[in-house]
Amino acid sequence: MAVVAALAVTVAYGVSGDDAAHRVTTAHDGDAQNGERDAPADGTPSATAKEKGKPEKGDGKEKEGKKDASAPPGKGGQGPSGAPSASTGSGSGHSGGSVPLSANVRPYVWGDDLPCFQTFLINRPPENMPGTPQTGDTVGWARSLGGVDAEHSRIGVVVRGTEKEPVVLEALRVQVVGRGPALGWQHYNPSGGCGGGLTPSSYSIALDNTSPVVKAVPGEQAGKTIPAKPFPRTVSATEPEALAIRADAVSCDCSWYLELDWSSGKRSGTLPIDDGGRPFRTSGAASRTTYTYGGDPAKWWGDG
């Protein structure tokens, strides 16, 4: 998978120079109509780095190991809504230096042509919906209307080292920070369909599970299987790793983010992967009708 400029958001704790990329805020307007939804956290934790074997100080007790994955999310930085902003940082936590890797997050860029597979839930009837954008930016269009990813979210993450030493990606975990019933909003497909293409080896997440996990699954191209890529993986400044992630939701409206555990030499830590300082959001589609734009005169047509 080619490494291209970020289309939506980067988690760049420890990034410098050209590795810093754009971020936009996910619209979270409105909640489930068919029941209350657990409020998601305002942001996600910052990256951590520590030296292996060095104790943490606190309450007179010594602790060793990696950051507690259950730590509550903190306030995440984000630029103005709809306005790109660069992000740089050295990571936070205990002695051990800066975080030696960056993660460039590209929602909906997951294969050759898979961006057009994303559909959205929008709390508007079809007669009050604008047409699809002439620019082709269906993601920005849906976000401006308060849209939420419907049924699944596809995310491409390019991870690379930022220092001379290679970095081992030890594990990828998912944290669900908000959960409610699937939204009863209208289901819109602004793309109208896609052709065939590469289905990369990926990492699958079933958000409806009580304790979802990240599972490596094989891909396919031209009828041939592309082997799954389980962790650990190794990256460097010259050899990045492209992670294709798909999170599915059937009955829940879930807010979630990822945690990438890493180690390099005597250092180890956790890098959060989110949507510009906010969790990703994916909801099952309670509506059985999907609307597609087209016709003459053009309008939204339901298939149900």
Inside any domain, residue 46: yes
Domain count, the chain: 1
From 201, 262, 217, select the one nearest 11 (Cα to Cα).
262
Whether the CB-CB separation of 120 and 147 falls below 8 Å is answered with: yes
129-167 pLDDT, tens digit per residue, is 999 888 777 888 999 999 999 999 989 999 999 999 999
Whether the CB-CB separation of 103 and 163 falls below 8 Å is answered with: no
Inside any domain, residue 4: no
244-262 pLDDT, tens digit per residue, is 999 999 999 999 999 999 9
pLDDT at position 302:
92
pLDDT at 202 over 50: yes
144 Rama sector, left if φ>0, alpha if ψ -120 to 50, beta otherwise? alpha
Phi and psi at residue 157, in whole multiples of 5°?
-125, 120
pLDDT at 68 over 70: no
pLDDT at position 303:
86
- C-alpha gyration radius of the chain: 20
Whether the CB-CB separation of 152 and 89 falls below 8 Å is answered with: no
Inside any domain, residue 3: no
pLDDT at position 290:
94
For residues 188 and 10, the model is more confident at 188
Between the alpha carbon of residue 1 and those of residues 30, 109, 198, 209, 241, the distances in Å are 35, 10, 10, 30, 9
Using 50, 70 and 90 to split pLDDT, how confident is the model at 31?
very low
Query: What is the residue-averaged pLDDT of the chain?
Result: 74
Whether the CB-CB separation of 176 and 44 falls below 8 Å is answered with: no
From 242, 275, 240, select the one nearest 107 (Cα to Cα).
275
pLDDT at position 304:
65
- pTM beyond 0.75: the answer is no
Inside any domain, residue 5: no
pLDDT at 121 over 80: yes
287 vs 152: CA distance, rounded Å? 15
pLDDT at position 197:
55
113 vs 199: CA distance, rounded Å? 9
Inside any domain, residue 42: yes
pLDDT average, residue stretch 228-240: 96
What percent of the chain stands above pLDDT 90? 47
Inside any domain, residue 199: yes
The parent domain of residue 288 ranges over 17-64+72-302
72-120 pLDDT, tens digit per residue, is 333 333 332 232 222 222 222 222 458 999 999 987 665 544 445 689 9
Q: Quick check: helix, strand or coil at residue 108?
A: coil
pLDDT at 172 over 90: yes
Using 50, 70 and 90 to split pLDDT, how confident is the model at 266?
very high
Inside any domain, residue 32: yes
296 vs 183: CA distance, rounded Å? 31
pLDDT average, residue stretch 284-299: 88
Give the side-chain half-sphere CA count within 13 A for 295. 10
From 47, 245, 85, select the one nearest 162 (Cα to Cα).
47
Inside any domain, residue 10: no
Count of residues in the chain = 304
